[in-house]
Amino acid sequence: MSLSRRAFAGLSWREVRGYARWMGIGSFHFVAFSAIVIAIALTLQCVNELKKYQAEDLAGAAISIGLLRELGPLTISIAWCARVTALVSEETRSMKAHYGSEREFAEGFVLPRFLAALIASVPLGAYGLLIGFVTAGLFGPTIGVSSVTDFVESARSAITDRDIIVYFTKLIAINPTIAIYAGCACGLLAQRGDEPVAANAVTATFLACLMLNLAISIAAFW
């Protein structure tokens, strides 16, 4: 039996579900609040600037592209990843001695947390996008956009399939993977019990996410 088949055969799905609930449902309010705040701030800035050119009804296009391509992945997603990697790094440091080999650690520790992060990132990515877009659509008319309909139509005409693909690639495939492996790496490398392993993991996650998100943006839009 191959490594992957053996790993999945011995996987504790109860453990996966527990981590998925913590990463997903346990993070929903955090993601929702962040999406609302960021959407309001972005809408305020975009509409106020576009008013100077009598183009405030185009705010939907600018806001939707900003949220999809960069702001969503670089703010809400990375903040959620920081929460995840801090937990994983502390768990790694305290539990690494319980595993006799790298294979056991990968199968018994990394795999369930990695699957949970991927599972949780799917609904969170969709929820964050929906909440941010609805917030911007409702807030826009209060500061100058003609109507919610104009906002939605402007956004619909601007969003492309590539924007959606890039958004979910960053939020579902890239950022959660970095969070789990940065947390594991920092926990494994920790030599002292008082070492700020969570802080190191969060820093590594931020830097890696920023660099890889930039690389994907360059590849997709340049």
Token readout for 131 is: 């909440």
Q: Which residue has the tokens 């600018």?
A: 62
Residue 207 and residue 74 in contact, taking contact as beta carbons nearer than 8 Å = no
Mean pLDDT (whole number) for 78-100: 93
pLDDT at 77: 93
Mean pLDDT (whole number) for 23-27: 93
Q: Which residue has the tokens 């996987």?
A: 11
**Could you tell me the pLDDT band of residue 9, with boundaries at 50, 70 and 90?**
low
How far apart (Å, rounded) are the C-alpha atoms in residues 207 and 214?
A: 11
Return the amino acid letter for 173.
A
**Could you tell me the pLDDT band of residue 118, with boundaries at 50, 70 and 90?**
very high
Q: Which residue has the tokens 């997709």?
A: 220
How far apart (Å, rounded) are the C-alpha atoms in residues 184 and 110?
A: 8
> Does the pLDDT value for residue 5 go beyond 90?
no
How far apart (Å, rounded) are the C-alpha atoms in residues 181 and 176?
A: 9
> Does the pLDDT value for residue 2 go beyond 50?
no
Mean pLDDT (whole number) for 155-163: 90
> Does the pLDDT value for residue 6 go beyond 90?
no
> Does the pLDDT value for residue 3 go beyond 70?
no
| Domain boundaries along the sequence of the chain | 12-221
pLDDT at 169: 94
Q: For 36-60, how does the pLDDT look when each residue is reduced to its tens digit (9 = 90+)? A: 999 999 999 988 888 888 888 888 8
> Does the pLDDT value for residue 19 go beyond 50?
yes
Residue 152 and residue 97 in contact, taking contact as beta carbons nearer than 8 Å = no
Residue 136 and residue 46 in contact, taking contact as beta carbons nearer than 8 Å = no
**pTM tops 0.85:** yes
Q: For 182-207, how does the pLDDT look when each residue is reduced to its tens digit (9 = 90+)? A: 999 999 998 776 779 999 999 999 99
Residue 54 gets the label, from left (phi > 0), alpha (psi -120 to 50) or beta, of: left
pLDDT at 7: 62
pLDDT at 1: 35
Query: What's the mean pLDDT when you consider all of the chain?
Result: 89
pLDDT at 10: 67
Report the share of the chain in percent with pLDDT over 70.
95
**Could you tell me the pLDDT band of residue 8, with boundaries at 50, 70 and 90?**
low
Q: How far is CA 181 from CA 44, 72, 83, 132, 152, in A?
A: 37, 21, 13, 28, 38
